[in-house]
């Protein structure tokens, strides 16, 4: 990592806008960062792999910390073992801020990890464990900020709510979605939310930041083919499995038409200046770039996450057929993870999908679908992010971003709550594959520096004496 970047992070711990604020002087940010590292290691060791989730174990971990701090909290299980927890610091009458993260993490296959995925070990400047990037580190940054505001007794202009929820990795229906539906009073008077979805990346030593303001919309489908069953020794001209495979191949080969929606265009223009050739030019004129098949094929190969922002997509993720090798099954099914651009009409997309499949015998079942929404950047919270990053990383671009994945933020945007996906960490490009991948890890410096940055972002927004 660039030494100048590290140095600027340390300066921020003591200097904000040229002078330390009165509130920040009451907080030992170095000690807060060291405590964050300890808390993160402990949190990574709590097994909250989803499925089955068992997020109540994470609730117990967080509850012990709140008990030790004398902070009141509430918790609830949406189903056995599916725990959620929240705590509130009372403040003034301005719309409240929620600091949200999810407790659950995706599965990890130990065979492909160098160590126990739940070890939380520190080695050569990294903390390893499932959830290190997605998203227990972010939760610890929120926790440390929340604890620091409480310990320092900072006068707040609004309530600040720490919230940790279940089930985000499977759609959030036992977590954020459940709370919105069953505990709506928790979100009365809430105007802002910080969550996962954005942050910093380090490419060739240059940091850049994206603040997620919208995301592609997930629609998950199950395709089911039926046909005559039989013995594997006498294959028929066509049966459920072959019909399904043919349909899936048509989907795989289908070139969903590219188009650049305004939020995506803004994002590409924002990252163009720091991109290497030819992407610096291509990103600044994406409306033309998407008309160049060769350049788009190269983008798909080199930067698939950015390519996904230019069109609707479908990934074939689950296949099910016979449970016995010599039996031709009467049914075969596949599940598709489709992500739609924010302006896409879902019904129109389904019609396109049916046309691509071109087989009326195959049933299309919608498993899940959300609604699109975009959060405005014209807020003091967004300006606080910009200000703190400008001090910590002079010259680094900060742009509103669109993500190809989804987070729980959509539940809250549907309520009219301005929601940003942003953790102030700078992830080296070579580490980004750890999200849902093998040997997931976060740098120790990201934990320490991210704690200081998150505290300062939130403090500037909620401190009644100095908030911008």
Residue 131 has pLDDT above 90, yes or no: yes
pLDDT band (50, 70, 90) for residue 17: very low
DSSP 1-41: --HHHHHHHHHHHH-BTTB--HHHHTS-HHHHHHHHHHHHH
Residue 253 has pLDDT above 80, yes or no: yes
Do residues 283 and 260 lie in contact, with contact meaning Cβ atoms separated by under 8 Å?
no
Exposure of 153 by Cβ count < 10 A (0-12 exposed, 13-18 middle, 19+ buried)? exposed
Q: What percentage of the chain reaches a pLDDT higher than 70?
A: 94
Residues 88-105 have pLDDT tens digits of: 999 999 999 999 999 999
Do residues 445 and 6 lie in contact, with contact meaning Cβ atoms separated by under 8 Å?
yes
Residue 3's pLDDT is what?
A: 28
- Name the CA dihedral angle for 391, 393, 399, 402, rounded to a multiple of 10 degrees: -120
Do residues 90 and 156 lie in contact, with contact meaning Cβ atoms separated by under 8 Å?
yes
Exposure of 204 by Cβ count < 10 A (0-12 exposed, 13-18 middle, 19+ buried)? exposed
Phi and psi at residue 71, to the nearest 5°: -100, 120
In DSSP terms, 123 is beta-bridged to: 126
Domains and CATH numbers, the chain: 3-214+372-462 (3.40.630.10), 216-369 (3.30.70.360)
Residue with tokens 């929620």: 98
Q: Assign 3-state DSSP to the chain and report helix, strand, coil percentages, each to 5.
A: 40, 25, 35
Do residues 271 and 278 lie in contact, with contact meaning Cβ atoms separated by under 8 Å?
no
Average pLDDT for residues 427-437, to the nearest whole number? 89
Residue 18 has pLDDT above 60, yes or no: no
Predicted TM-score (pTM) of the model is 0.88
Average pLDDT for residues 263-282, to the nearest whole number? 92
Residue 9 has pLDDT above 50, yes or no: no
CA dihedral (388, 418, 350, 246) positive or negative = positive
Residues 24-59 have pLDDT tens digits of: 558 999 999 999 999 999 999 999 999 999 999 999
Which runs of E-coded beta strand occur in 146-276? 158-165, 190-195, 199-203, 206-215, 217-226, 230-231
Q: What CA–CA distance (Å, rounded) separates 199 from 168?
A: 18
Between 206 and 185, the more confident residue is 185
Residue 8 has pLDDT above 60, yes or no: no
- Structure tokens of 104? 């659950």
**How large is the angle between the packed helices 29-44 and 444-462, nearest 10 degrees?**
120
In DSSP terms, 94 is beta-bridged to: 158
Residue 420 has pLDDT above 60, yes or no: yes
Residues 354-412 have pLDDT tens digits of: 999 999 999 999 999 999 999 999 999 999 999 999 999 999 999 999 999 899 999 99
Residues 194-233 have pLDDT tens digits of: 999 999 988 778 899 999 999 999 999 999 999 999 999 9
Residue 24's pLDDT is what?
A: 52
- Name the CA dihedral angle for 383, 266, 277, 315, rounded to a multiple of 10 degrees: 110
- Structure tokens of 278? 């030819």
Q: What is the mean pLDDT of the chain?
A: 93
Residue 282's pLDDT is what?
A: 97
Q: Identify the DSSP state of 36.
A: H
Residue 25's pLDDT is what?
A: 56
Average pLDDT for residues 65-69, to the nearest whole number? 98
- Structure tokens of 422? 């942003």
Q: Are strands 217-226 and 331-340 parallel, antiparallel or unpaired?
A: antiparallel
The total number of residues written for the chain in this structure: 468
* Cis peptide preceding 135, ω within 30 of 0: yes
Residue 458's pLDDT is what?
A: 98
pLDDT band (50, 70, 90) for residue 173: very high
Residues 286-340 have pLDDT tens digits of: 999 999 999 999 999 999 989 999 999 999 999 999 999 999 999 999 999 999 9
- Shortest CA distance to 201 belongs to which of 463, 455, 401, 410? 401
Q: What CA–CA distance (Å, rounded) separates 163 from 99?
A: 6
DSSP 350-367: HHHHHHHH--TTSEEEEE
């Amino acid at each position: 990592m660039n030494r100048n970047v590290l140095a600027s992070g340390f300066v921020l711990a003591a200097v904000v806008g040229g002078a330390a604020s009165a509130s920040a002087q009451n907080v030992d940010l170095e000690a807060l960062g060291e405590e964050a590292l300890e808390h993160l290691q402990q949190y990574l060791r709590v097994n909250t792999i989803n499925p089955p989730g068992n997020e109540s174990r994470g609730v117990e971990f967080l509850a012990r910390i709140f008990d030790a701090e004398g902070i009141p909290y509430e918790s609830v299980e949406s189903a056995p073992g599916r725990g959620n927890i929240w705590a509130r610091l009372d403040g003034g009458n301005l719309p409240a801020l929620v600091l949200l993260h999810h407790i659950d993490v995706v599965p990890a296959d130990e065979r492909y990890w160098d160590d126990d995925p739940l070890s939380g070990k520190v080695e050569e400047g990294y903390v390893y464990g499932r959830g290190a990037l997605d998203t227990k580190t972010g939760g610890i940054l929120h926790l440390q900020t929340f604890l620091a505001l409480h310990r320092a007794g900072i006068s707040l202009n609004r309530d600040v709510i720490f919230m940790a929820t279940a089930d985000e990795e499977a759609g959030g229906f036992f977590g954020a979605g459940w709370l919105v539906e069953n505990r709506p009073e928790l979100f009365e008077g809430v105007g802002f939310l910080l969550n996962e979805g954005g942050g910093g990346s380090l490419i060739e030593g240059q940091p850049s930041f994206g603040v997620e303001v919208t995301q592609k919309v997930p629609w998950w489908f199950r395709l089911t083919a039926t046909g005559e069953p039989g013995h594997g020794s006498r294959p028929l001209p066509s049966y459920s499995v072959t019909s399904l495979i043919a349909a899936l191949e048509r989907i795989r080969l289908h070139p969903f038409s590219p188009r650049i929606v305004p939020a995506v265009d803004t994002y590409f223009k924002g990252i163009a200046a720091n991109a290497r050739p030819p992407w610096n030019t291509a990103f600044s004129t994406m409306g033309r770039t998407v008309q160049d098949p060769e350049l788009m094929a190269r983008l798909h190969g080199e930067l698939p996450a950015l390519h996904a922002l230019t069109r609707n997509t479908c990934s074939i993720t689950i296949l099910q057929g016979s449970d016995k090798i010599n039996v031709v099954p009467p049914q075969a099914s596949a599940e598709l993870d489709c992500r739609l651009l924010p302006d896409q009409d879902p019904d129109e997309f389904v019609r396109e999908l049916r046309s691509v499949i071109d087989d009326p015998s195959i049933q299309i079942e919608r498993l899940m679908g959300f609604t699109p929404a975009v959060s405005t950047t014209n807020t003091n919270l967004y300006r606080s992010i910009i200000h703190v990053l400008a001090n910590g990383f002079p010259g680094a671009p900060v742009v509103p971003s669109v993500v190809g994945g989804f987070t729980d933020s959509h539940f809250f945007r549907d309520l009219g709550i301005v929601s940003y996906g942003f953790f102030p960490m700078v992830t080296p490009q070579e580490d980004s594959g750890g999200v849902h991948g093998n040997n997931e890890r976060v740098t120790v410096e990201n934990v320490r520096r991210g704690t200081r940055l998150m505290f300062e972002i939130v403090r500037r927004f909620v401190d009644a004496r100095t908030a911008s």
